[in-house]
Structure 1
Amino acid sequence: MLDDNGLRVMELGGKGYCCSQMMVIMALDEMGREDPDLVRAAGGLCNGLGDCSGPCGVLTGSVLALGLYAAKGTDDEEPDDSLPLMLESMRDWFVARTLEYGGTACGDILDGGCGAPHPERCGGLVADANAKVREILVENGLDPAQGRDLS
């Protein structure tokens, strides 16, 4: 049985969003925000940078999501000191999580194919990665529901 996270992944996939976009949308959902420009920009990371040879969109979308909470966004902001460690933690987790597929590239996860995501592999990765992003944020004293103040 799917939890709310898994159901959201299925819903977003059914609406045509790719993995990187799903990661960003779910982070925005957590903060109660919408940002169509950011979601469109995340679309540039779909399918392993377009031809499935690049990194999986789950990984690139996850680091985008972490950046939403901890990176510099205005002239007056400073990045959170924990951002490099959060990114490293996400990368390490993703590498370990995708060992069974032989790599972190989109094509590795899709077993050499390219195009439509594999529902079980990709959907499971998105749901697990979303949970991991939340875990990393909390471990670093950041509230997933807060995000950066946009005012």
Structure 2
Amino acid sequence: MSQDSFRMFKLAAQGFCCTQIMMLMALEDEGKDDNPDLIRAMQGLCGGMGRSGGTCGALTGGASIIGLAAGKGNAMEQVHPKLGRMIAELLDWFDETYASRDCEDIIQTKLGEGDAYPVKCGSIVSATYYKVREIMAKYIVKEEEEED
């Protein structure tokens, strides 16, 4: 088991869902402090938004991580010029990889309010997290290096 897989497993065992796990890992990887308000807000996207089975929480979590890195956070900031392109690339990859954006279609399980997440969710969260990091490295890190 890779270190990231172990981190995800530990967070899931603590009761965090897909979107929360992704954001907690992103904050940690970026060296940012814990942000309980943000993590609580991410829970609304779990299980396809409120466990409705709609848009996969790994996908919305990934878009949220990109937004955290490249979105506008206050009146003085500017949106990264390639924010839309980064999210479009994530969407294209997700569509090609899973053939659906809907949680219940992908995991082939009907989610209820208190149900546990299927094991399949772990691999989806992991793959999506790595894709998000790859996309961000391509557009954000690369451009920062070019500016130096």
Instruction: Tell me the TM-score normalized by structure 1.
Output: 0.86
Give the whole-Å Cα distance in 2 for the aligned partners of 1:104 and 1:118: 17
RMSD across aligned positions (CA):
1.3
Give the whole-Å Cα distance in 1 for the aligned partners of 2:64 and 2:140: 18
> Percent identity, aligned pairs only?
36
Which stretch has the larger CA shift, 28-37 or 73-82? 28-37
Instruction: Tell me the TM-score normalized by structure 2.
Output: 0.88
Match for residue 107 of structure 1?
A: 104
Match for residue 13 of structure 1?
A: 12
Superposition pairs of residues 40-119 of structure 1, within 5 angstroms: 40-99=40-99, 103-114=100-111, 115-119=115-119
Match for residue 137 of structure 1?
A: 136
Contact 1:110 1:117 in 2 (8 A): no
Give the whole-Å Cα distance in 1 for the aligned partners of 2:70 and 2:88: 14
Q: How many residues align?
A: 138
Give the whole-Å Cα distance in 2 for the aligned partners of 1:52 and 1:109: 13
1:18 partner amino acid: C
C-alpha deviation, 1:110, in angstroms: 2.6
Identify unmatched segments of 5+ residues in structure 2.
143-148
Match for residue 146 of structure 2?
A: none
